[in-house]
Amino acid sequence: MAWDFETDPDFQAKLDWADAFVRDEVEQLDLVWPGEQFTPLTGKRREAIEPLKRAVREQGLWATHLGPDLGGQGYGQLKLALLNEILGRSSWAPIVFGCQAPDTGNAEIIAHYGTPDQRHRYLRPLLEGEIFSCYSMTEPQAGADPTRFETRAVRDGEDWVIDGWKFFSSNARTAAFLIVMAVTNPNVAAHQGMSMFLVPTDTPGVRIVRNVGLYGEPLDEGTHALIHYDHVRVPAEALLGGEGQAFVIAQTRLGGGRIHHAMRTIGLARKALDMLCERALSRETAGSRLADKQYVQGYIADSYAQLTQFRLFVLYTAWEIDKYNDYKKVRKDIAAVKTVMPTVLHDIAWRAMQVHGALGVSNEVPLFTMIHGAAVMGLADGPTEVHKTTVAKQVLRDHVPSPGRWPTEWIPGRLEAARVKLADYLDREAGNL
């Protein structure tokens, strides 16, 4: 029987190295080059960051989730989860370690469904960190319902022509190529009539109408593009996977993306908990430290319990993915992790913000940014409410209605059945009275 909560000592040594490396070498990048992690490296930034990437490769920690044939280590999702707990503290860390979203999920589907030419053209430079990618799926009118997508791709001789609108296409502004989901056959069910295409961002007709930002960012300076695909012509070999395979590919892409977000959220929530504890030990008011106040102690206890439960659930789900190598089989737990994730980050960051007082809501500490990030995580890769219905439906498959009028745990009925089963013993007991 295998049941273990320990990390292999050799890999733990690598994690210890990564922890110190991120704190000492990588987190400074977040301060001096904020928001530039998805901008292609040039000049001084390249000079500063390339040595960091080399150090990661020398430690065997570059793109750990991908196989050696793709430039990774083949460690799988569980070890990636342990590593991502560390990387989640820093916006730049996933870039330096070759496992940043959305590129990890995009690389995974190109590796799985791409032709040799597609892997050479897009996957290799993506894995090397030389280019970035964009997953262009959501549409303005459709929200979380892909059955309402209107973007069309029509075959025209040897080419496909794409027309339509996509919304919140993250990193399109700096991406070298887009993975575009479009309707190729409107006469069949949506899950059979959509296809994926690899589209270079400089293709004629690809027009970024505006770059939508998050709350607090200047207008048109965000990273989530509204894109108009205006008669965009791509060759037949731009098709990713088979025609009509978009839904199958999307589940692979989104399943990986969701669990990777959860892995990194552990690190971010732990950072908030560390800030909460540090502040509680450092600040005095009304005659004692904040750490001695029962209310603050409750904050710390609740935060620790939430984070520990969430972490174990994420690690278990990552273990399942490695075991079954089938995102569909782990769909219930991936969806459940996704529903829990925003609340865990929000609650811990909110408590830390309260304990920091006025400083907590300022732009001089990252706590309100974390709370805002929790809201984003509640929508990214599908809203929480949709995933809760997925979890419920999956859970209900393992249950059946009660066979009669009363619930199976109805005590009068169970008591009667128990008396019948134990009648001989009850008769003997009565005879001994």
* pLDDT computed for residue 433 by the predictor: 54
Per-residue pLDDT at 411:
96
Beta bridge partners of 6: none
- In the predicted model, what is the mean pLDDT of residues 81-85? 93
Q: With the CA atoms of 307, 308, 311 and 313 taken in that order, what torsion angle do they form, in degrees rounded to the nearest 10?
A: -110
Lowest mean pLDDT among 9-18, 121-130, 348-357: 121-130
Tell me the percentage of the chain whose pLDDT exceeds 70.
98
Say whether pLDDT at 405 is over 90. Answer: yes
pLDDT the model gives residue 105: 81
Mean pLDDT of 8-31: 95
Which residue in this structure is represented by tokens 């069949």? Answer: 188
pLDDT at 290 over 90: yes
pLDDT at position 430 is 62
Residue 352 confidence (pLDDT) above 90: yes
Burial of 135 (0-12, 13-18, 19+ CB in 10 A): buried
Residue 308: CB atoms within 10 Å: 11
Instruction: Please write down the long-range contacts of 51-59, taking CB distance under 8 Å and 24 or more positions apart.
Output: 52/25, 52/26, 52/96, 53/96, 53/98, 53/129, 55/21, 55/25, 56/21, 56/96, 56/97, 56/98, 59/14, 59/17, 59/18
Average pLDDT of the segment spanning 58-74 = 81
Give residue 162's pLDDT. 98
Q: Read off the pLDDT band of 250 (50, 70, 90).
A: confident
**230-268 core/surface letters (b: 16 or more CB in 10 A; e: else):** eebebeeebbbbebbbbbbbbbbbbbbbbbbbbbbbbbb
Question: 3-state class of 221 per DSSP?
Answer: coil
User: What is the average pLDDT value for the chain, to the nearest integer?
Assistant: 92
CA pair distance 303, 360, nearest whole angstrom: 17
Is residue 367 within 8 A of residue 353, CB to CB? The reply is yes
Amino acid identity for residue 204 in this structure: P
Least confident of 35-49, 167-181, 190-204: 35-49
pLDDT digits (tens, 9 = 90+) for 225-239: 999 999 999 999 999
Residue 431 pLDDT more than 70? no
Mean pLDDT calculated for residue range 18-30: 96
For 106-132, how does the pLDDT look when each residue is reduced to its tens digit (9 = 90+)?
A: 888 898 899 999 999 998 888 878 899
- Checking if the pLDDT of 67 tops 70, the result is yes
CA atoms within a 13 Å half-sphere pointing along the CA-CB vector of 114: 21
Asked if pLDDT for residue 308 goes beyond 60, the answer is yes
Cβ contact 24:16 at 8 Å: no
Closest CA to 317 of 260, 237, 253, 382: 260
The rounded distance, in Å, linking the Cα atoms of 296 and 279 is 10
